């Protein structure tokens, strides 16, 4: 178990591979602990001579939880869809700064960055606000912050909001998590037993639906990155599944459209998850992006 002081909070992290190899920072999505990047996934990347770092964002897992801050995710959703500003305890810029501070604590000047879903949003923000630290960017199943693209299906949004309601019973927590995984995931590959096992491990490690709500409000409060993405000079690969019900593929297509010379890679039939069957293609996309970076 490793934690470090970073940006005024404590961040939990794991490392795989040789620290002397080029570093790759994995950034997790909404409410997702770093375990979403499974050990075998990280080890496969490390085997390509990469030093892989995964970490828990603030408000999830074993990193600092801001329990003193309260938010109303539904009111924030109404505000953002009405074009109003959203007040939040923190935003994606703060979460991007967390990741940069983690690199600082490890003595790493530059890293390739990979993020999925909200992790993609944070990774984009890292590249925008800390370009000297980001060698390459790989954004998976993410979007630009523009309200016109990347919108979820209504059923999916309802399922997502449902897990932000605290439940006292462990079994209810697990089943709620499995339900969301089923709704958003790759339908032809969904494995109820595996989803249940993973949900149990995550919930026993840390359970904080209010923390997930704070992360969601941080997304709403951060607005569009479109103008800044169009100015990026970072090698970028964008990947997205065409069966993603949580972040519509229009979000990934728009990201690739905006970032100069970005490459878009379609993941056919993939939903909003990372099934084992797609790991090789996802890792290939990360490596293509990283190999285009200037040493």
* Phi, psi angles (nearest 5°) of residue 151: -70, 145
Q: What is the pLDDT of residue 254?
A: 98
Token pair in block for residue 102: 């983690």
> What is the tens place of the pLDDT at every residue in 109-159?
999 999 999 999 999 999 999 999 999 999 999 999 999 999 999 889 999
Token pair in block for residue 83: 């074009």
Mean pLDDT for all residues in the chain: 96
**Residue appearing with tokens 């490390």:** 46
Tell me the C-alpha distance between 221 and 76, whole Å.
Answer: 8
Question: What CA–CA distances, in Å, run from 26 to 65, 99, 227, 282?
Answer: 20, 9, 24, 12
Over range 73-78, report the average pLDDT. 93
Tell me the C-alpha distance between 285 and 292, whole Å.
Answer: 11
Q: What is the pLDDT of residue 1?
A: 65
> What is the tens place of the pLDDT at every residue in 206-234?
999 999 999 999 999 999 999 999 999 99
Tell me the C-alpha distance between 269 and 251, whole Å.
Answer: 16
Percent of the chain clearing pLDDT 90 (strictly above):
95
Residues whose CB falls within 8 Å of the CB of residue 228, separated by 6 or more in sequence, listed in order: 128
Query: Could you tell me which residue, 55 or 165, shows the higher pLDDT?
Result: 55
Tell me the C-alpha distance between 94 and 88, whole Å.
Answer: 11
Strand partners of residue 241: 267
* Phi, psi angles (nearest 5°) of residue 135: -75, -40
Tell me the C-alpha distance between 251 and 241, whole Å.
Answer: 11
> What is the tens place of the pLDDT at every residue in 234-260?
999 999 999 999 999 999 999 999 999
Domain residue extents for the chain: 2-149+212-291
Q: Is it the case that residue 200 has pLDDT exceeding 70?
A: yes
Residue 110 gets the label, from left (phi > 0), alpha (psi -120 to 50) or beta, of beta
Residues whose CB falls within 8 Å of the CB of residue 134, separated by 6 or more in sequence, listed in order: 110, 111, 112, 113, 126, 127, 234
* Phi, psi angles (nearest 5°) of residue 22: -55, 140
DSSP symbols for 159-177? HHHHTTS--S-HHHHHHHH
C-alpha torsion 174→180→184→186, nearest 10: 30
Query: What is the rounded end-to-end Cα distance, in angstroms, of the chain?
Result: 31
Across the beta sheet with 111-116, the strand order is 2-6, 9-16, 51-55, 23-27, 111-116, 134-140, 236-241, 263-267
Q: What is the pTM assigned to this prediction? A: 0.97
**CATH classification for the domain delimited by 2-149+212-291, as one of 3.40.50.1820, 3.40.50.300, 1.20.1250.20, 2.102.10.10:** 3.40.50.1820
Q: What is the pLDDT of residue 295?
A: 64
């Amino acid at each position: 178990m490793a934690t470090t002081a970073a940006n005024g909070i404590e961040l939990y992290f794991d490392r795989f591979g040789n620290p002397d190899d080029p570093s790759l920072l994995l950034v997790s999505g909404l409410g997702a602990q770093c375990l979403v990047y499974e050990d075998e996934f990280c080890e496969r990347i490390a085997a390509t001579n990469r030093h892989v770092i995964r970490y828990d964002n603030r408000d999830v897992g074993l990193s600092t939880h801001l329990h003193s801050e309260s938010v109303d995710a539904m009111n924030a959703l109404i505000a953002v869809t009405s074009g109003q500003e959203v007040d939040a305890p923190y935003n994606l810029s703060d979460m991007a700064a967390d990741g940069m501070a983690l690199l600082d604590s490890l003595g790493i000047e530059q890293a390739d960055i990979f993020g999925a879903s909200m992790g993609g949003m944070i990774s984009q923000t890292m590249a925008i606000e800390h370009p000297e630290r980001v060698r390459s960017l790989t954004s998976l199943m993410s979007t630009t912050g523009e309200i016109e693209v990347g919108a979820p299906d209504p059923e999916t949004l309802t399922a997502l909001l449902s897990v932000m309601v605290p439940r006292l019973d462990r079994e209810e927590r697990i089943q709620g998590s499995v339900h969301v995984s089923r709704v958003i995931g790759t339908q032809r590959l969904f494995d109820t037993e595996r989803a249940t096992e993973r949900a149990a491990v995550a919930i026993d490690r840390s359970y904080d639906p209010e923390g997930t709500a704070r992360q969601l409000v941080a997304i709403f409060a951060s607005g569009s990155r479109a103008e800044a993405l169009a100015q990026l000079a970072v090698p970028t690969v964008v990947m997205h599944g065409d069966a993603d019900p949580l972040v519509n593929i229009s979000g990934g297509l728009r990201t690739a459209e905006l970032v100069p010379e970005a490459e878009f890679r379609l993941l056919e039939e993939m939903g909003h998850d990372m099934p084992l069957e797609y790991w090789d293609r996802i890792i290939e996309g990360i490596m293509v992006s990283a190999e285009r970076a200037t040493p």
